[in-house]
A and B are shown apart, each in its own frame.
Chain A
């Protein structure tokens, strides 16, 4: 069956360090992979999208890599800040062959300590 796993339920790091979150998937070949941020009691907010033919994407302090051979995406936040504390979700695009139909990972709760 299709499965998306994110590295851990929670990740604690010190302010200023780089946070690295992992998204692994099986039995699936997505055309796109997306990353979202979700704060408690709120809907997810889109952060980055990376295509299957792209290795890396950057946006300000965020960097995403996509390895279709390993079936893995890494999400990095450099110079982390307490305001970056949230749950981060990866999502595969193209579930059931339909573009923009997303299947979400389990999420990683990031806590950045001041």
Chain B
């Protein structure tokens, strides 16, 4: 079945640096991908909708200059956390709409720790 991968699975970075997370649809094309953030023992919160070939749509309260999203191809979306701070430490998950239109396929997530 359709698979979504993320890389890296875990990353530790120093405060003030930037981190890039990749999300790939492995055997299907995804014109739209979604980025979520999940804090411990909390549910997923949608951060932004990534659209191939156009600008991402950010949810209210999410800083677009801090969380840069690029969807350069039909199989790849990237999320760059710029000038990371410890409060950005979280579990970041991407998803893509399934080719059948039923449900979404989620990536395995990326655990970001900012020290």
Total residues of chain A contacting the partner, CB 8 A: 20
Residues of A within 8 A of B (CB): 34, 36, 41-46, 49, 89, 95, 98, 100-107
Contact of B46 among A49, A102, A107 (CB under 8 A): A102
On chain B, the residues within 8 Å of A101 by CB distance are: 34, 46, 49
On chain A, the residues within 8 Å of B97 by CB distance are: 100
A86 to chain B, nearest CB (A): 14
With A34-B103, A100-B32, A102-B34 in contact, is A46–B98 under 8 Å at CB?
yes
Contact of B109 among A43, A46, A103, A105 (CB under 8 A): A43
With A100-B97, A100-B104 in contact, is A41–B46 under 8 Å at CB?
no
Contact B107 A43 (CB under 8 A): yes
With A49-B102, A102-B34 in contact, is A42–B109 under 8 Å at CB?
yes
